[in-house]
Amino acid sequence: MNHQPDPDAFDRDVFDALMADVDPVMIIVTTASDGVRAGCLVGFHTQCGIDPVEYAVWLSKANNTYRIGALSETFAVHVLSKEHHDLAELFGGHTEEEFDKFERCEWTPGPDGVPLLDAVADRFVATRHAWLDPGADHVCLVLRPVLAEHGDADDWFRLADASAIEPGHEAEERQRPS
């Protein structure tokens, strides 16, 4: 009996609807290298290890955070609540090519100069454990947390809440393998 899936039977619309129903919490990832700061809004992320604790974040190759992140060892992951819509718009709707996002928000330098967004109490700082590039439009950054802070948010900012944000980079700008 052949149990191989039929690639022609894949319905992208059904998959997209399923992912929309999952509706993950949005995060902002920040990093720095040689005094250059970067940060972006991220929807693809999850805990991926228990002992040791590890967390996977997928960065778009179109983002400056991908380029600076390739040179960085330390990252901050900020978990957004609905009160952070303006930050989501700033980090998801604009690029570092347009302006310095960090000049438009309050932040504090954290370990290794990584920007910590002052308005977001739910966050962790982590070091890079692995950088995986499967050849698609995103890379997987596997992080090991070294510091965590948890506020009292309970009304999370989800993917559905970000649907009106025009992305700073269009899908066509993502770097594809040659």
21-30, 89-98, 113-122, range with greatest mean pLDDT? 113-122
Among 150, 159, 171, residue whose Cα is nearest residue 23? 159
As given in the structure block, the two tokens for residue 105 are 């928000």
Which CATH number belongs to the domain containing residue 73 in this structure? 2.30.110.10
Q: Do the domain assignments include residue 29?
A: yes
pLDDT at 172 over 70: no
Q: Do the domain assignments include residue 60?
A: yes
As given in the structure block, the two tokens for residue 106 are 């309050």
Instruction: Specify the pLDDT at position 21.
Output: 85
* Segment among 2-6, 42-46, 76-80, 109-113 with least mean pLDDT: 2-6
Q: Do the domain assignments include residue 4?
A: no
Confidence of residue 176 (pLDDT cuts 50, 70, 90): very low
1 or 54, higher pLDDT: 54
Q: Do the domain assignments include residue 8?
A: no
Confidence of residue 168 (pLDDT cuts 50, 70, 90): low
Q: Do the domain assignments include residue 3?
A: no
131 or 10, higher pLDDT: 131
Confidence of residue 178 (pLDDT cuts 50, 70, 90): very low
CA–CA separation, 49 vs 26, rounded Å?
20
Q: Which domain holds residue 103?
A: 14-164
pLDDT digits (tens, 9 = 90+) for 21-80: 888 899 999 999 999 999 999 999 999 999 999 999 999 999 999 999 999 999 999 999
Q: Do the domain assignments include residue 172?
A: no
Instruction: Specify the pLDDT at position 1.
Output: 58
Backbone angles phi, psi at 51, to 5 degrees: -145, 95
CA–CA separation, 27 vs 173, rounded Å?
21
Q: Do the domain assignments include residue 91?
A: yes
Q: Do the domain assignments include residue 2?
A: no
Instruction: Specify the pLDDT at position 174.
Output: 45
Among 133, 139, 107, 111, residue whose Cα is nearest residue 124? 111
ω into 7 cis (within 30 of 0)? no
Confidence of residue 154 (pLDDT cuts 50, 70, 90): confident
CA–CA separation, 135 vs 23, rounded Å?
25
Exposure pattern of 1-33 as b/e (b: 16+ CB <10 Å)? eeeeeeeeeeeeeeeeeeeeeeeebbbbbbbbb
pLDDT at 177 over 50: no
Number of domains in the chain: 1
How crowded is the C-beta side of 126, counted as CA atoms within 13 Å? Answer: 24
